Amino acid sequence: MALTGYSWLLLSATFLNVAAEISITLEPAQPSEGDNVTLVVHGLSGELLAYSWYAGPTLSVSYLVASYIVSTGDETPGPAHTGREAVRPDGSLDIQGILPRHSGTYILQTFNRQLQTEVGYGHVQVHEILAQPTVLANSTALVERRDTLRLMCSSPSPTAEVRWFFNGGALPVALRLGLSPDGRVLARHGIRREEAGAYQCEVWNPVSVSRSEPINLTVYFGPERVAILQDSTTRTGCTIKVDFNTSLTLWCVSRSCPEPEYVWTFNGQALKNGQDHLNISSMTAAQEGTYTCIAKNTKTLLSGSASVVVKLSAAAVATMIVPVPTKPTEGQDVTLTVQGYPKDLLVYAWYRGPASEPNRLLSQLPSGTWIAGPAHTGREVGFPNCSLLVQKLNLTDTGRYTLKTVTVQGKTETLEVELQVAPLG
């Protein structure tokens, strides 16, 4: 009478020989998903009648993959057969296109003519081909020492090992300390600027490795060390002396991410300049004073400032008159700009022609106010720095203008300038 695989199971329950000498090896030793795998049997002895393979920890019918009758070559699938398994005549088990669910313990049970059984144990670990992971971030733009970085390596393979990379290399020690026990979460409290860069995670197993695309982290900081430079030399807190009628460029620098917004002030008054540099094209006494650069970071909400004092050099004290514009036309306004006027000025007077009373246009008193003279036309205005504004020029305004200054010490100085008014067209 032919015996089926299930009949041999009943026999095995009575005649189990635990002194098994069977060994089972796996070929290939570390299979990956989709490989064809063989559980190769070694150490079989005697004349065997049948084999039974189980995919599970015990010789339970529910784990039976297949039974094989040696004399006939008949194979009977069991409840655990997946359609991929086949028993060889030598007792080895082939699994075609193996899947991760085939991982686990396998037991071979043999039956000889003396109705004795032996068992052998093998283990299969199927390593999947890993999909590319993704790095998820709580934010990719953080403020230094204030915000917390939290990165997670998202992968559909929960059993894969994880490692992290920073700018293509190993993580700094401070960052490694923030790894979770499974390595899938990276946290850093009070992020630092040197930790800005590209982060990647990599999942791996013995047969597969896959690295994520980089995620770039920006860390905002500053502004720090705000300074004012002149010709690449730091001038913060210094006095810069400039020759009369020469140009000066001040640069504002700082350590900041992102680049800060700049505000310049002159003697406490804001200037219309939003750049990192300030140009003084033609230095006069009116431009002497304190220049301050304020750097503001819109991300960190921090700011810093630096100041310098700008003065005319000793060689710039000579007084001179420069019309602005230098070649005015009929209908324009012109300012007779006084450069290098006396610092101890008491009074001054402007004249239309020689310095005589009938020709006086206006005078400025020690109080700082000016009064009109006999020659005033209603179009002339005086300024504290001795400059004279003549509005809505006409051709008769062409000619000589004279400035007379008197200092507190009683020193008198007279300067003249010729004004040329060009006709329209």
Of 193, 213, 233, the residue at which a domain comes to its end is: 213
Its pTM stands at 0.61
- 60 found inside a domain: yes
CATH of the domain at 232: 2.60.40.10
| Whole-angstrom distance, CA of residue 218 vs CA of residue 140 | 6
Between the alpha carbon of residue 310 and those of residues 124, 224, 230, the distances in Å are 82, 24, 11
> How large a percentage of the chain has pLDDT more than 90?
69
CB 193 within 8 A of CB 219: yes
CA atoms within 13 A on the CB side of 125: 8
- 402: nearest Cα among 357, 343, 345, 366: 357
Question: Does 299 score more than 80 pLDDT?
Answer: yes
What's the confidence (pLDDT) of residue 397? 94
Same domain, 201 and 229: no
Q: Assess if residue 327 is contained within a domain.
A: yes
Domain identity same for 65 and 144 = no
Token code pair at residue 48 = 């065997």
Neighbour-count burial of 321, counting CB atoms closer than 10 A to its CB (0-12 exposed, 13-18 middle, 19+ buried): buried
If asked whether residues 350 and 275 sit together in one domain, one would say no
Say yes or no: 256 and 289 in one domain: yes
The reply to whether 290 and 344 lie within a common domain is no
Half-sphere exposure of 204 (CA within 13 A, CB side): 8
> Last residue of a domain, which of 124, 159, 194?
124
Say if residue 292 is in the same domain as residue 329. no
- Token digits for 358? 């009938």
Q: pLDDT at residue 9 above 70? A: no
Domain total in the chain: 4
Question: Which of 53-57, 61-65, 261-265, 338-342 is predicted least confidently?
Answer: 338-342
Same domain, 286 and 328: no
CB-count burial class (<10 Å; 0-12, 13-18, 19+) for 156: exposed
The verdict on residue 16 lying in a domain is: no
> Taking CA 232 as the corner, what is the angle to CA 230 and CA 233, rounded to the nearest 5 degrees?
65
Where a domain ends, among 73, 92, 124? 124
**Do 114 and 203 belong together in one domain?**
no
pLDDT tens profile 174-185: 888 899 999 999
Q: Is residue 18 a part of any domain in this protein?
A: no
Residue 348 maps to a domain: yes
Are both 380 and 408 inside the same structural domain? yes
**For 317-357, how does the pLDDT look when each residue is reduced to its tens digit (9 = 90+)?**
567 889 999 899 999 999 999 887 777 788 999 999 998 98
**Residue 202 and residue 264 in one domain:** no
Task: Reply yes or no: is the peptide bond before residue 206 cis, omega within 30 of 0.
Answer: no
Whether residues 306 and 353 share a domain: the answer is: no
Give the domain extent around 205.
Answer: 134-213
**Structure confidence by residue, pLDDT tens digits, 217-275:** 999 999 999 999 987 777 777 889 888 778 899 999 999 999 999 999 999 999 988 89
Q: Are residues 252 and 296 in the same domain?
A: yes
Is residue 12 situated within a structural domain? no
At 278, the amino acid letter reads L
Residue 403 inside a domain? The answer is yes
Question: How many Å apart are CA 367 and CA 144, to the nearest integer?
Answer: 55
Establish if 10 belongs to a structural domain.
Answer: no
pLDDT surpasses 50 at 8: no
